[in-house]
Amino acid sequence: MDNISLNCDIIFADLPPPPPPKSPANKSAYCMFMVIFSLITVIGNSMVIAAVAKFRALQKRTNAFIVSVACADIGVAVLVMPFRLYEEWNGGWDLGKWFCLVVNAFDGIFCMAYMCNLYTLALERYLAVCQPFLHMKIRNWMTALILTLCWVFPIVLWPAILFTEFHIIGIEDLAACVTESACPLFMNTSTTIVVTVGTFWTPSALMILCYWRIFQTARHHAQAIHATTVTTAEYYNSQRINKTVKAAKTPAIIVGCFSIFWLPYFTVITMDAFMDYKLPIVAKIVTAWMAYVNSMVNPFLYYIFNQQLKMAFKNIMRCKGGRLEDMDGM
């Protein structure tokens, strides 16, 4: 890289201009909002972890994935958002190239771990409803192994991509110019395709298919019960399926919100790589923060749609102990 003669003026002439600078008042209001947003993200997801740790009724396999998702959300709020906010406040990045790579690595690790946990949770719910005998064979050590892999894989992958500079092969001059005063997660076309297809587009399609099959199976059983006289065994099997489907509703809502908040970001970075990085910078910043907002929203979704977690949150806020009632919350 040091031996490459860079002409950043020519390179920047082909790129979209940076967004106009904010006034001091607008910058202060924007940063204050983002600080509050980050604090809410940490507090909300910490309450999720505390609730599951405190109440034995919440210590289920499904909630193990929810806790792992909450850990990823906290990681984003603590180790990524503050530095993105600093860059916005400072009007650029002046913390050095290597620290920029560290922040980008954290960004990729936590976001990929978050997604991996959602995908495996969808598969777990699919097995519980559609393949119950196979689901019964899942042991706690298997769940622990899957959760570990959901973290080990991104922890190995992202530093390998970023610190070897594999992600900027072929666009070294462009990356060097852009990262002189900014810290974007900048990837060449091939890396963008591998990352987006492997971590978002394909798994998201499979995740949607899992939940579609879950609710299709539930509807089929409900129709069969209403249409025929069922035996006692069939009735209890239907009750089991209904209970399991209820447990899949909150994760399905989480997945729906995940798609709403993350789809614009992955659409923008995919298009940007194929359009020679000429999409407006504002579009990239806005869609990235939209994805971060998802980390703040999740605890509110748990409170609204999960009765057990709602009770646990209330007990924690009131400093109460005791036991939760046996509700079909998740």
Give domain limits for the chain. 23-317
User: Looking at per-residue confidence, does 21 or 49 come out higher?
Assistant: 49
The pLDDT assigned to 28 comes to: 84
Q: What DSSP element (H or E) covers 145?
A: helix 140-163
Q: 179-208 pLDDT, tens per residue?
A: 888 899 889 999 999 999 998 999 999 988
Q: Which two tokens mark 4? A: 């490459």
| Alpha carbon distance 293, 301 (integer Å) | 13
**pLDDT computed for residue 46 by the predictor:** 96
DSSP secondary structure string, 169-189?
TT-HHHHHHHTTS-------H
Q: Given this model, what pLDDT does residue 43 score?
A: 96
Digit-coded pLDDT (tens) for 202-231: 999 998 898 888 888 777 766 665 556 555
pLDDT for the residue 194: 93
Q: What's the pLDDT at 238?
A: 54
Q: What is the dihedral of CA 234, 139, 114, 62, to 10 degrees?
A: 40
Rounded to an integer, what distance in angstroms lies between the CA atom of residue 138 and that of residue 124?
A: 9
Distance CA(46)–CA(100), nearest Å, equals 27
DSSP string, 13-56: HTSPPPPPPPPHHHHHHHHHHHHHHHHHHHHHHHHHHHHHHH-G
Q: 23-317, what's its fold?
A: Rhopdopsin 7-helix transmembrane proteins (1.20.1070)
Residues 6+ apart with CB under 8 A from 327: 307, 308, 311
pLDDT in tens, 256-305: 899 899 999 999 999 999 998 989 988 998 999 999 999 999 999 998 88
Mean pLDDT of the chain: 85
The predicted pLDDT at position 298 comes to: 92
